[in-house]
A and B are shown apart, each in its own frame.
Chain A
Amino acid sequence: MTKQFLLDGQPVPFDDGQTILEAARKAGHYIPSLCWNKDFPPHGSCKLCVVKAAGRHVSACATPAKEGWEVESNTPEINGERRALLQMLFVEGNHFCPSCEKSGNCELQALAYEYEVLTPRFRHFFPDRPVDASHPDVLLDFNRCIFCELCVRASREIDGKSVFALTGRGIGKHLVVNAESGRLGDTDFAATDAAARICPVGVILPKGKGFAVPIGERVFDVATIRSKTLKESS
């Protein structure tokens, strides 16, 4: 007999070592995430996947499922926390969706719709983050960075280049590139890198192509992030 835990009262089967997030999604229950990606070990930084397991808050992406656990996820309390985390990500950067090339394809935006983020709630930080247009094929707009480190990990582990890294600390943490000049154009980054396609928001954008798919026909215009994620996990 397979092991199972209860997610919001419903039984979810899992294999040993499987995380709460993986098991839940496979069984058709949506738990949101931004920094998690099936190709990498769990990161646990965005905290969107926060759930209450046996009464304790944990990251569903990093916590192996346990037999008999009662896990709360889709509750007003947890969804309220997720909404606040999304609001935090919005106010700490400079996110102007209407003028963003990623609008409609952006996971942060899609999650904001999913969790009914109607206002920023908190005061905006308006950080000063200049863009980097030095690379011939790729633009970096740091204003939108949410520090999921997917580009850091993809460049290091898939591309074998380590083009990206985080420096600074706390609210001053920021993305840097692997060049003394600090310019992407001086790195060996290529538009064909895995890291060039992994950004869930609009930091890493291809140049020379804009709004090729009209607003209204983009990924999250035609499907919610919930349904798209579940479809990919099944």
Chain B
Amino acid sequence: MSAHSSDPSQALDAILQRHGRDPTRLLQILIDAQDIEGWLPAPLLTRIAGALVLPRARVEGVAGFYSFLHTRPVGRYRVLFSDNITDRMLGNAELLDALCRKLWIEPGHLSEDGLVSVTTTSCTGLCDQGPAMLVNGRAIGQLSHRRINEIAELIRQQRPLDLWPTEYFQVDDNIRRRDALLGLDMAPGAALQAAVARGRDGWLAEMQASNLRGRGGAGFATAVKWASAKNAPGAPKVVVCNADEGEPGTFKDRVLLNSFADLVFEGMSLAAWAVGASQGFLYLRGEYRYLRPQLEAVLARRRAAGLLGKAILGQAGFDFDIDIHLGAGAYVCGEESALIESLEGKRGTPRIRPPFPVTKGYLGRPTVVNNVETLAKTCLIALGGGEAFAATGTAQSAGTKLLSISGDCASPGIYEYPFGVPISRVLEDCGASDTQAVQVGGASGICLAGYEFQRRIAYEDVPTAGAFMIFDGTRDLFEVARAFVHFFAHESCGFCTPCRVGTALLKGFMDKLADGHGAQADLADIDWLDRLLKNASHCGLGSAAPNPVIDTLQKFRPAYERRLVSLDFEPAFDLDAALAEARQLTGRDDHCAHLKTHEEEEK
């Protein structure tokens, strides 16, 4: 629950003080200030703008960008149901309805007493233990009707979250297969010691020999990124760990941060040693806010052990420390230049590139942005050498990959495989049967049909950031694609025309088909929109947004075609549905209040 201070104005002063009234910390200030009353009233934004000497409109601009910041009142209990396709497959919609019925509220509306609001949010990264929700930012998985009943009761009793049963908040790692990384038992500092012994150049040479490529999905060579930042003029240099794991179906970073945080932070220090960086940020997605206290504790331990701070491991000039910045519900901030904007306290809008962050990143300084898993992997290279690392996996994809497996299988969870593993092997290991399709790489990834299950997880074949969602023969691939289209429309930052309007239009077309008004002409329009989004979008979000539709239209076309009414064109407008509001206002639902029924009867 919110930390109800006796005096909100004093509470805000303390927050501003803590953040040094630094405008680049605007997002962090807004996140903290929201805890005062649970939302951000207009006068509060005015005060923050005044204290930071920023235009008020800019503060409002930032507050309005992030899903987890509220400029209108929300419930003292804010319930957000995770709405990934895997949550939907586990019946989250029914549970949401049940909770709303029990609390006498409508989804998306604040209860009249201001007690509770219930709505959905994008994937919260608990796909292996869904359906899941966030209550005031705290994650609860394994929802069932029984648990929903209990939660409704707890909310009605206004029981503080700290007094809710602790097992609700238990998040399991569900590690099912360990390889080099998850099997590593490393004393904190061991990898850093090995790298420091090699010298900065020697360590970078090991990285080059390792052929490590970014685990965020794009697969850019990590050593090339590091070398570019190292050689870029300007200081102080910055290392950012991208823990904005927003790709639907991905949760490997959650597990790494929960149980392998030392490897991640050590990887950041290794990057700092290579590029000569002095400042580090962990950009933690808002959905994982509950991990923050334990991550701060790990950082404190590392500082005490001399692994962070001044003259690390006794090396004069090796000064580096890490600050945790929270996201607030914006998938687009996983894009590195949008992430940097967000780190600077702005709206998370992707920048024009070039210049790339390695030369002009955070506050214009050379900045390395790496994925959580990429950074953790650098420990293996520091310990075992670059060549040994390069010898594993495939020729173009060295090392192992963590897969976040969810959907229709017996054992969802985290699986670590050497690159090159065939899809069929993964399906067998996780106990999937009658598999119709696998979505690899999340919503922006690729949908594989049965005839492609011999393909391999590797940059040269099926690249992935780690999501692996399984759909058996009972699933409707049209609904899968529609869920992802809704996701992209919700997460578009709105900067460029094709993505802002295109994702909303695509959503409209998919809903039209779902409502039974689709025609052949719509498939042609969908096709055309897909291409425009791919070609003309400003960043990867927009160009990836049509992927689920392109793939499923190509591989599962009957799922679309059987929804079409056999006409060339069919309007989306439904005259009877348009009267719904009038019916609600007049309290009528008899057959005369329905247009079609009325007409049909006359016939």
Contact = CB atoms under 8 A, between A and B. Distances in A.
Do A and B assemble together? yes
Interface of A: 42, 44-48, 50, 57, 59, 62, 81, 84-85, 88-89, 91-92, 122-123, 125, 146-147, 156, 161-173, 176-180
Interface in B43-69: 43, 45-46, 55-58, 60-67
B572 interface: yes
Contacts of A170: 489-494, 500, 503-504
Nearest to A173: B494
B536 interface: yes
Given A44-B538, A169-B330, A178 B56 contact: yes
B357 interface: no
A167 B538 contact: no
B217 interface: no
B60 A44 contact: no
B426 interface: no
25 contacts: A42-B352, A46-B496, A47-B536, A50-B536, A81-B535, A81-B536, A84-B528, A85-B497, A85-B498, A88-B497, A122-B501, A125-B504, A147-B494, A162-B58, A166-B61, A167-B60, A168-B494, A169-B492, A170-B490, A170-B493, A171-B501, A178-B55, A179-B56, A180-B42, A180-B56
Contacts of A147: 494, 500
A47 B501 contact: no
Counting from the closest, the 6 A-B pairs by CB-CB distance are A167-B64, A162-B55, A165-B57, A173-B494, A88-B501, A178-B57
Contacts, number: 122
Contacts of A180: 42-43, 45-46, 56
A180 B42 CA distance: 6
Given A89-B501, A92-B501, A170-B503, A47 B58 contact: no
A147 B504 CA distance: 16
Chain B interface residue count: which class?
Answer: 35 or more
Contacts of B494: 147, 166, 168-173
Given A88-B501, A170-B500, A177-B57, A81 B64 contact: no
B182 interface: no
A91 B508 CA distance: 13
Given A165-B57, A168-B64, A123 B536 contact: no
A15 B57 CA distance: 38
A127 to B, nearest CB: 10
Interface string B1-19: 0000000000000000000
B453 to A, nearest CB: 32
Nearest to A121: B525
A90 to B, nearest CB: 10
B155 interface: no
Interface string B523-565: 0010010001001111000000000000000000000000000
Contacts of B67: 169
B495 interface: yes
B505 interface: yes
Contacts of A172: 494
A32 to B, nearest CB: 12
Contact of A46 (B46, B347, B497, B528): B497
A9 to B, nearest CB: 21
A44 B500 contact: no
Contacts of B60: 165, 167, 176
B536 A162 contact: no
Nearest to B63: A167
A64 B545 CA distance: 27
B502 interface: yes
B504 A47 contact: no
Contacts of A44: 352, 496, 538
B504 A45 contact: no
A208 B131 CA distance: 58
Contact of A165 (B55, B501, B503, B528): B55
A61 to B, nearest CB: 9
Given A165-B57, A176-B60, A180-B45, A171 B504 contact: yes
A143 to B, nearest CB: 15
A62 B490 contact: no
A45 B42 contact: no
Among B42, B498, B536, residue most surrounded by chain A Cβ atoms (within 10 Å): B536
A50 B533 CA distance: 12
Given A81-B536, A162-B55, A179-B56, A47 B498 contact: yes
Given A84-B532, A178-B55, A167 B61 contact: yes
A57 B537 CA distance: 9
B64 A171 contact: no
Contacts of B504: 92, 125, 170-171
A91 B300 CA distance: 53
A50 B58 CA distance: 29
A171 B502 CA distance: 9
